[in-house]
Amino acid sequence: MSEQNNNNKQDVTTYEILDFLKDHMVTKEEFNGFKEKVEGRLDSIENRLIYLTQKISDIKSDLKKISERTLEDSDAHAKDIL
């Protein structure tokens, strides 16, 4: 089993490792900048959701008022007919 594992391993040089790291790693500053950008976007989305939730609540309230007035109007109209 150990011999099979050794056959699957690939020898790499320190230079190749460093080259790979240079190509794929990010600095702390880059990470923090990305983090701040994402946090800003999430804050914006959260604010939009809060706004939309309030607008939906307002619309629901308006529809309820319209429904109540329509019922009152139809009741008054029915009484007039009777």
Q: Is the pTM higher than 0.95? A: no
Q: How many domains does the chain have?
A: 1
Higher pLDDT, 38 or 3: 38
| For residue 18, pLDDT beyond 60 | yes
pLDDT > 70 fraction of the chain, expressed in percent and rounded: 80
Digit-coded pLDDT (tens) for 26-66: 999 999 999 999 999 999 999 999 999 999 999 999 999 88
Supply 34's token pair: 């990305």
d(CA 17, CA 23): 10
* Range 7-17 burial, b when 16+ CB lie within 10 A, else e: eeeeeeeeeee
Q: What stretches of the chain show up as alpha helix (H) in DSSP?
A: 2-8, 14-24, 28-81
Could you tell me the residue range of the domain that residue 24 belongs to?
Answer: 2-81
pLDDT of residue 23: 92
